[in-house]
A = this chain, B = another copy of it.
């Protein structure tokens, strides 16, 4: 086995543990619900728009469930896309001087070590990717690793979660019922104005007034967009605009760069947004 492969193989799942408490502001009962689902190892689907905090929620929960960071659960996040194949998740043989060595994929690492495997934007994945998780999300809790001829039982702490943005109307890519009905679903949204103010102030390091302005702006645009069926600005974009302001860029210019131009190329939509700004 070459040095590179050997390193890859023994690579500790430890790098996947979140040891410092992530900054997370709960919006509703999502922490309690997830805790209840995890107690029975019920797979969880997070539904919600771009940049509303789903990924950070997962980091928080692995920290929280792991005795509040004293023994955090490993978190294996997989960003799904249409070229992701089952072999990327499960693992593959890699040629070495001793013939071929098996290299666990990220899903297998989570199944083996007992962490949470989080499939981000799962509707983008190919069918074979969603089918491979079926036996991990019912009473069987096993992962068939066909290329090794074995069936691996999941570690007692393992749980499979996934996220999904219902705002994308790509019907063709909708999850199959046989996949979807294996998960309970928690809905996420952008935080209410007061909470978003607090988040922007904390993350961008701006004063309360600037944060309040940005949160108000977001609320207005989202109301606008809801009518037009479009997606509003994410909390992340507000934080970027705040950061630019802290670095001395004027408020109007920061919102132009961080919100208007970042959201759309359409000149009509842009001038609509500018008016709100």
The residues of A with any CB-CB pair to B shorter than 8 Å are: 1-5, 7-9, 11, 15-16, 29, 32-33, 36-37, 39-40, 42, 45, 47, 50-51, 55-56, 77-86, 88, 93-106, 109, 120-121, 124, 126-128, 130-132, 134-135, 138-140, 144, 146-151, 165-166, 177-178, 180-187, 203, 231, 233-234, 236-237, 240-241, 243-244, 246-249, 253, 257-258, 261-263, 265
Contact = CB atoms under 8 A, between A and B. Distances in A.
A261 B187 contact: yes
Given A36-B247, A257-B184, A83 B138 contact: no
Contact of A83 (B11, B120, B128): B128
Contact of A181 (B7, B86, B244, B263): B263
Given A244-B37, A253-B29, A147 B42 contact: no
Contact of A249 (B1, B15, B33, B94): B33
A186 B257 contact: yes
Please tell me how many copies of the chain the complex holds.
Answer: 6
Given A149-B109, A184-B240, A4 B93 contact: yes
A9 B93 CA distance: 13
Contacts of A244: 33, 36-37, 40, 42, 184
A47 B183 contact: no
B128 A36 contact: no
A259 B9 CA distance: 40
Contacts of A241: 184
B146 A88 contact: yes
Given A8-B148, A95-B100, 15 more contacts: A4-B148, A11-B148, A15-B151, A29-B253, A37-B244, A42-B243, A79-B132, A81-B126, A83-B85, A103-B147, A103-B149, A109-B149, A165-B178, A181-B233, A184-B257
The 9 closest A-B pairs by CB, nearest first: A2-B99, A96-B99, A185-B261, A36-B247, A166-B265, A83-B128, A81-B128, A97-B99, A81-B131
A96 B4 CA distance: 11
Q: Which of A4, A85, A94, A233 has the most CB of B within 10 A?
A: A4
Given A109-B149, A126-B83, A99 B11 contact: no
Contacts of A55: 138, 140
B249 A36 contact: yes
